[in-house]
Structure 1
Amino acid sequence: MAIEGLSINFATIRQAGDFGAMVEACLRHGITSVSPWREQIAAIGLAEARRIVRANGLRLTGLCRGGFFPALRASDRAAAIDENRRAIDEAAELGADCLVLVVGGLPAGSRDIAAARQMVEEGLSEILPHARAAGVPLGIEPLHPAYAADRACVNLIGQSLDLCDRLDPDHAGGIGLAIDVYHVWWDPSLAAGIARAGREGRILAHHICDWLVPTRDPLNDRGMMGDGVIDLKAFRHMIEAAGFHGPQEVEIFSHDWGARPADAVLATIVDRFRTVC
């Protein structure tokens, strides 16, 4: 029996094998919504991935990932834009709800974060028409400030929404947010930001995991839901009150959980989804 409202980001169970093996693992646990990574798609080929998606009636809550726009050389910025257009085309082929964007941090050797943010905005402006034409919404994922230098210089929900409003002042659509609890749970303006995102129709995805205390590694020590300090039920209430009722996508980068059998990880996820989310 399918479990409604639960999606698995394939970073969580990459130990299961290739794209097909991860799909099979999810299906064994009644999970029919997934979010793969582009390198996982490339490994088996886009056509085969599309066949697997359609044959199993899967919903893709996102495709990971696009972004990484800032670069010192104009040619590198142009290459990033071209790569993002390819990512949009892949997301369209797979019928993904959105293309998740990790926008990028400081270019190597730079200390100018304002310039990096301007490069992000310019890059998004370049790819938004292509995304609209392909019917693939762009989901900006604001990341925790710990990642501002190397992964994402866009770090707050409000900051992300301001960026969306500048790019889409008429609210024509095609751009919004992928809201990950791990990155934004601590924000004093969280409730107001989520409410605003809902009013503006900008919530495209909702990612869940937990924040451990202590966190040994900000990249690869995410917690299983219920093992940390995030009030996941309150977060979910805010998201749903804002009008988003799509699946909660479990995305856990973890040396610990990544060393366990995928079926054991998925069984735990299903239990925690039913009890603490």
Structure 2
Amino acid sequence: MISRLSLNQWTTRNWSLEEAVAGCVRHGIPAIGVWREQLHECGLERAVKLLADSGLRVSSLCRGGFLTAGGEEALAGNRRAIDEAAALGAPCLVMVVGGLPGVPPGGAPGPGFSRSLAGARERVAEALAELAPYAGERGVRLALEPLHPMYCADRAVLSTLAQALDLAEAHPVEQVGVVVDTFHVWWDPRLPEQIARAGARIASYQVCDWLQPLPADVLLGRGMMGDGVIDFPPITAAVAAAGYTGDIEVEIFNADIWAADPDEVLATMKRRFAATVV
């Protein structure tokens, strides 16, 4: 399974794209999930050459989304992200769809605030109708990522795999899929049946652990596999049974991991992946 291991760049957040690519090559990690922040620092043209020369697969581009804000600006930003994913040869653009209108990530309600969850989800559906054909024409799949319900207000009004699939199924499978991220969905009692339902719509499988207790900043509650409470093998087996054969990304938001030596993080990641995920 190491042949399917991918480093999601946010796990080594302080590395540039150049450093992350070199780290993957050094540690024999065959794929990388690219983040747009580091991509823009590197420059798209340079990044395309860097990745091609490295021989690494690009498992995803993170991230597009934040569709609940509405308007042409959000659509235009996502079209740019789709174009970047196409240039990199990324099979999918991970979509964090956005929270309630007027609630910035990690912030308090502000201008344009609305409490209407139904209205926010309708905005997501309307934006997907605009973006899905554009992505399909460029060979990129929009990968809807449901986030744990504690992020519903400010980051994602899609909280379950079932909700993500309800939206995805309105579009061709090659245009819109879903992300199975263990941190966000491990708790869901309907997870096995929804993974089976997802089938070919699984565009990305991401893993990290749920730390208990969570830190004060719950965004940073992701841990290295084996350091938390998630039972990975049943989820991995369900994803495999659904037909997913793509890369498996390790995506960790954790202040201690970000402060550690990234080479040590990658070495630990490889060991824990082999010992716990499969």
Q: Same fold (TM over 0.5)?
A: yes
Paired residues of 2:68 and 2:101 also in contact (CA < 8 A): yes
Change (3 A) 1:184 1:172: closer
Equivalent residue, structure 1, for 2:35: 37
CA distance in 2, matches of 1:59, 1:185: 27
Q: How does 1:1-277 map to 2 (within 5 A)?
A: 3-15=2-14, 17-71=15-69, 77-108=71-102, 109-166=113-170, 168=171, 171=172, 173-198=174-199, 201-216=200-215, 217-277=217-277
User: What secondary structure sits across from 1:66 in the alignment?
Assistant: strand
1:18 Cα deviation after fit: 1.2
CA distance in 2, matches of 1:94, 1:172: 21
CA deviation vs aligned residue, 1:141-185 (integer Å, no higher than 9, x gap):
01000111100001111111111122x2xx452110011000000
User: What secondary structure sits across from 1:65 in the alignment?
Assistant: strand
User: What secondary structure sits across from 1:227 in the alignment?
Assistant: coil
User: What secondary structure sits across from 1:243 in the alignment?
Assistant: coil
Q: Which moved more, 1:81-90 or 1:172-181?
A: 172-181
Q: Size of the alignment, in residue pairs?
A: 266
- TM (norm. structure 2) is 0.93
Runs of 5+ unmatched residues, structure 1: none
**Counterpart AA for 1:160:** A
Paired residues of 1:68 and 1:80 also in contact (CA < 8 A): yes
CA distance in 2, matches of 1:272, 1:5: 14
CA distance in 2, matches of 1:29, 1:233: 24
Runs of 5+ unmatched residues, structure 2: 103-112
CA distance in 2, matches of 1:223, 1:138: 26
1:218 Cα deviation after fit: 1.9
- TM (norm. structure 1) is 0.94
Equivalent residue, structure 1, for 2:106: none
Identity of aligned residues (%): 49
User: What secondary structure sits across from 1:253 in the alignment?
Assistant: coil
CA distance in 2, matches of 1:173, 1:23: 28
User: What secondary structure sits across from 2:11 in the alignment?
Assistant: coil
CA distance in 2, matches of 1:49, 1:32: 16
CA deviation vs aligned residue, 1:107-161 (integer Å, no higher than 9, x gap):
1121111111000111111111110110101100010001111000011111111
CA distance in 2, matches of 1:210, 1:132: 32
CA deviation vs aligned residue, 1:201-230 (integer Å, no higher than 9, x gap):
100100000011111132012110011111
**Counterpart AA for 2:191:** L
User: What secondary structure sits across from 1:276 in the alignment?
Assistant: helix
Paired residues of 2:192 and 2:238 also in contact (CA < 8 A): yes
CA distance in 2, matches of 1:172, 1:262: 36
**Counterpart AA for 1:94:** L
Q: Which moved more, 1:238-247 or 1:90-99?
A: 238-247
**Counterpart AA for 1:210:** D
CA distance in 2, matches of 1:157, 1:18: 32
Paired residues of 1:221 and 1:256 also in contact (CA < 8 A): no
User: What secondary structure sits across from 2:32 in the alignment?
Assistant: strand
CA distance in 1, matches of 2:84, 2:4: 24
Paired residues of 2:173 and 2:201 also in contact (CA < 8 A): no
In angstroms, what is the RMSD of aligned CA positions? 1.2
CA deviation vs aligned residue, 1:12-52 (integer Å, no higher than 9, x gap):
0022x311011111111101200011111110100000001
**Counterpart AA for 1:62:** S
Divergent runs of 4+, >3 A:
none
CA distance in 2, matches of 1:14, 1:158: 30
1:247 Cα deviation after fit: 1.8
1:274 Cα deviation after fit: 1.2
